[in-house]
Structures are given as C-alpha cells and as structure tokens.
Amino acid sequence: MTTRRTPKLDRYRATRPWGKDYWRRARCDEVACPRHIMGFEVVVPIGSDKDLYIRNAMNPMRTREGRSILHFTTKEEVGIVTFAFPPGQQCFNEHLLPIEREPIFLHKVGTQPRVMDFPDFMGEFNESAYRLQEARKRG
Ligand SMILES: [Zn+2]
C-alpha cells in the first residue's frame, strides 16, 4: 500500500484585521440592523445594572434631567423587567463597517502567510486557479 500525500494547498485571502485601522463603529441604520428595523426586547433583572442603564442614570443617552432618551415600554414580572423598544432606535449591539481602505492580501502555503500587494495577489491567484483547473481536467 502506498501512502498518498495531500499536496499543500495555496490559499489566497483578502482580510481586514480587527481594530480601528480597518473598521469604524456604525449606526444601526447603516447596517440594516434587524433590531432597529423590527424593534426589540431586552429582559433583565429588576434593579440590575442593565435595568438602571436602560432606565436612566447610567445611560449616556439621557436628558439633562438624567432620563433615558430611549423610547420603550416596560412589563414587570417577578424579579424581571421586559423592555420593549419600538422600531427606529439604536440597539445596544456594536456595529462595525469597514473603512475605505484596501484589505490585506495574504497568500498562505502551509502555515506561513505572506502579505502581497493587490496586482501580485491577483496575478498569482489567477495563475493558481488556472493551474488547479488544468489539473482537474487531467483528473
Ligand atoms: Zn443595531
């Protein structure tokens, strides 16, 4: 029995590393956030930090009198409160959008990545895809 070695695969990838060099915070409406479009509910323990955050004092989105500018209704049950936010408001999730900057183009063989400029990346990627296609035709 012969052992067949799997050839190392070339992998080409355009990537944007996490961080402010490649991403910026975005509003819900910029990313078509479903919570913004449909409205959303948040269920938290009564008196918890999250409860206080939403209602007023700890919330940076508040009036001068310390009241939340968020619009919501509340429903309290034993120990928990459900905040219902109608559509059209910012949710509490963080949304990110890529800033207008080229991603990093990586070519990876095995575990060693190599950073490339865009023309070289496209040239080598196309050549690699062509070679792969030809190899498949041969079977
Ligand atoms: Zn959102």
| pLDDT tens track for 33-58 | 999 999 999 999 999 999 988 887 55
Give dist(CA 71, CA 85) in Å, integer.
6
Length of the chain: 139
Rounded to the nearest angstrom, the distance between the alpha carbon of 41 and the centre of ligand 1 is 12
Mean pLDDT of 13-24: 88
Indicate whether 42 and 68 sit together in one domain.
yes
Rounded to the nearest angstrom, the distance between the alpha carbon of 50 and the centre of ligand 1 is 17
Rounded to the nearest angstrom, the distance between the alpha carbon of 52 and the centre of ligand 1 is 20
Indicate whether 34 and 92 sit together in one domain.
yes
What pLDDT score does 58 carry? Answer: 56
Residue 113, domain member (yes or no)? yes
Residue 103 has pLDDT above 90, yes or no: no
Indicate whether 38 and 58 sit together in one domain.
yes
Give dist(CA 46, CA 82) in Å, integer.
9
First to last CA, the chain: 21
Rounded to the nearest angstrom, the distance between the alpha carbon of 40 and the centre of ligand 1 is 10
Give dist(CA 39, CA 53) in Å, integer.
18
Rounded to the nearest angstrom, the distance between the alpha carbon of 36 and the centre of ligand 1 is 5
Q: What is the pTM of this model?
A: 0.60
